[in-house]
Amino acid sequence: MRGARLTYRVSEHRLDGDVHPDEVARRLAGSGQVDVLHSTSWRFEAGRIVLTYVALPDPDPHDATDLDPATGIVSGDDPLSPSPAHVERTAVAAHACRHLAFLRHTDPLVAGAALRQPRLWALLDGFRPTVAGALR
């Protein structure tokens, strides 16, 4: 979050051995003021599965990129191939925001986090709550 703009940044790490992805996400989020850590999506990319987590609020907001709530939903061009050929990081971040906006109304833990960070969640309200590709 930067002023009245929602921002995002990307941290990446390969999974090693039997380390659970949640543990890796916790390490990447650090020991800052993270109130919510949630897995929001997965996709196949360059021969590997990529898991996406969101950590709120951002424990290290430096070098973050602004995120526009008008960022659209991406999908494949064929009903039997739902995955798009390429997914921009901005689309992944926007999907995570829509996912959290939905969870705010369905998950008591996320709803509690929203109460603790009202400015941040007011910005998330700008993203139309949706489940993965179900609503357009």
Question: pLDDT (tens digit, 9 = 90+) per residue, 47-84?
Answer: 889 999 999 998 888 889 999 998 888 888 888 988 88
**Best CA proximity match to 9, nearest among 81, 88, 66:** 66
Q: 82, 102 in Cβ contact below 8 A?
A: no
Exposure b/e, 119-129, CB count within 10 A at least 16 = b: ebbebbeebeb
* Confidence at residue 131, expressed as pLDDT on a 0 to 100 scale: 56
Residue 2 lies in a domain: no
- pTM recorded for the entire structure: 0.87
* Confidence at residue 63, expressed as pLDDT on a 0 to 100 scale: 86
Residue 63 lies in a domain: yes
Q: Is 43 left (phi over 0), alpha (psi -120 to 50) or beta?
A: beta
Residue 76 lies in a domain: no
Residue 78 lies in a domain: no
* Confidence at residue 135, expressed as pLDDT on a 0 to 100 scale: 46
Residue 15 lies in a domain: yes
**In degrees rounded to 5, what are phi and psi of residue 59?**
-70, -15
- CA 99/CA 110 separation, integer angstroms: 11
- CA 31/CA 58 separation, integer angstroms: 11
Give how many domains the chain has, as a whole number.
Answer: 1
Q: State the residue range of the domain holding 112.
A: 7-71+84-124
Residues of the chain with pLDDT under 50: 135-136
- CA 91/CA 83 separation, integer angstroms: 13
Residue 1 lies in a domain: no
